[in-house]
Structure 1
Amino acid sequence: MLKNLDKLLQDKNIRPTAMRLLALEYISSQQTAVSLSDLEAAFHRADRITLYRTLKTFEEKGLVHSIMDGTGSVKYALCEEGCECAPEDMHVHFFCNKCQETICLPKSRIPKIPLPDNFKQEEVSLVIKGTCGSCS
Structure 2
Amino acid sequence: MRALIQRVIDASVTVDDCITGQIGPGLLILVCAMQGDEEASAEKLAARIGKLRIFRDDAGKMNRSLLDTGGKALVVSQFTLAADTRSGNRPGFSAAAPPDQGRALYEHFAHSLRDLGITVATGEFGADMQVALTNSGPVTIWMDTADRG
Say whether the fold is shared (TM-score over 0.5). no
Which is strand-richer, 1 or 2?
2
TM range, smaller chain: under 0.3
Q: Which structure would you say has the larger RCO, counting Cα contacts within 8 Å and 6 or more residues apart? A: 2
Higher helix fraction: Structure 1 or Structure 2?
1
